[in-house]
Amino acid sequence: MKQGYFIAGTDTEIGKTFSACALLHTARQQGLSALAMKPVAAGTEADGENEDVRRLMAAASVVAPRELVNPYLYAPPIAPHIAAAEAGKPIKAATIRHAFQSLKPLADVILVEGVGGWRVPLGEHFDAADLAADLGLPVILVVGLRLGCISHALLTAESIKARGLPLAGWIANTVDPAMSRLEENLASLQQRLPAPLLGTLPHGITPEEAGRLLRLP
């Protein structure tokens, strides 16, 4: 592994998986091998698989064992710490760390996608921010462009800094194409976030197309 990044989000359903897939294509277009892991996923389809995990594996240029890409999968689409408690399968940092270390030799770039927002609980005394700190990875923040995104983004950036982690860059993902004053909000984010904008993703494009609009930090 030449470089790894933790993909965080300002909230749930703001395009972390889409952005991670796009970054995988960005790396591939630069001639780099790339894969992503989603350590914790909640919500399975009829075939027992998780759609986000499936998309990440499809976008990767390296085939990796599913149990390393996704060590923890829970069937109900609910908060992961609740799903883990109900399943009797607690999320352990050591298990995720082992999976990450096992994946490191396989690709030039490895992305680790978080679950939900930055502070989503993963256990009684363990959350997604703790996981990023445990892995020691610089963070790429996905900001979903919609009303309220400026405050969410700034609060998340402050929390990332408080954990002692570098904010390597951020992605502006247009989750609400009808957002009023989108360009003005984007300018405000660029002025206030202490990291470079890696790209702005329009609504309704494919991950391959998005990959050509992004850059790696």
Cβ atoms of 67 and 50 closer than 8 Å: no
How many beta carbons lie within 10 A of that of residue 28, not counting itself? Answer: 19
Q: Which of 16, 23, 14, 21 is nearest to 144 (CA)?
A: 14
Rounded to 10 deg, the angle between the 16-29 and 51-59 helix axes is 10
DSSP class of 160:
H
Task: Identify whether 89 is a catalytic site residue.
Answer: no
Catalytic residue among 2, 38, 92, 161: 38
Cβ atoms of 19 and 173 closer than 8 Å: yes
Cα dist. 167→21, 37, 86, 109, 194 in Å?
Answer: 19, 19, 34, 17, 8
As a whole number of Å, the CA-based R_g of the chain is 16
> Any idea which residues carry the catalytic annotation?
38
